[in-house]
Amino acid sequence: MRKRSIAVLLAFLCMFSSQVHAEIGPKEKDYYDNYRSILQVMREGMSEAPKTGDPSLDFLYEMIPHHEAAVSMAENLLKYDGANTQLKRLADTIIKEQLNGIRQMEELKDKLKNNPQVNKQAEAAYLQTYNNIYTSMITQLEAAKPTGNINRDFLTEMIPHHEAAIEMGKNILRYTQNPELRTMVQKMIVTQQRQVAEMNNLLKTIR
């Protein structure tokens, strides 16, 4: 009896999986495959970021590939959908703002790496929190599965990506005294908090 129940359950799960898979068309599959590739590139960039002894410099090395992933994710949406006017406008804004942020971070990184403010104790405390945020973000992003609706998929991917940037920004503000970095990060937090709120509202309307 128990074996029969297990067999019935397995058959049901296989049928359910086939139905879900059948709902994912070629365009959705290509979108998701690209998303997985973007995620892998970001993971490599962030996990291989050098530990310099300076929390400010560490943050810049880590956040640049994070921003690059946001650009790629938004471009991925526009390539395979972009029919929703409000979401397209948001994706365009993300691309523009994150590219500008990358430029600013690259410039500041070049300044700081010539004279790092080494503080190993502060770096260790900074990295402990950073690693927790990073791990939580990756877990959420890897759990994302295609639903057949690219717009909703993008939102459920970008929201935790933005939320992680906000928490990483709050984290570095505890350890950096660099005025240029502080201004940059504070602006990033405000911008991405606003975008997270907008994306959560869009999730309520996009079906």
d(CA 58, CA 127): 9
Do residues 206 and 155 touch, judged by C-beta distance below 8 A?
A: yes
CATH superfamily to which 24-205 belongs: Ferritin, core subunit, four-helix bundle (1.20.1260.10)
Condensed to tens digits (0 to 9), the pLDDT of residues 127-168 reads 999 999 999 999 999 999 999 999 999 999 999 999 999 999
User: Averaged over 24-46, what is the pLDDT?
Assistant: 96
Q: What confidence tier does 56 reach under pLDDT thresholds 50, 70, 90?
A: very high
- Residues above pLDDT 70, as percent of the chain: 89
Do residues 165 and 60 touch, judged by C-beta distance below 8 A?
A: no
The residue extents of the domains of the chain are: 24-205
- Rounded to the nearest 5°, which phi and psi values hold at 178? -70, 115
| The predicted structure's pLDDT at residue 18 | 40
Q: Is the pLDDT of residue 23 over 80?
A: no
d(CA 158, CA 203): 11
Do residues 105 and 82 touch, judged by C-beta distance below 8 A?
A: no
For the chain, the residue count is 207
Amino acid sitting at position 141: L
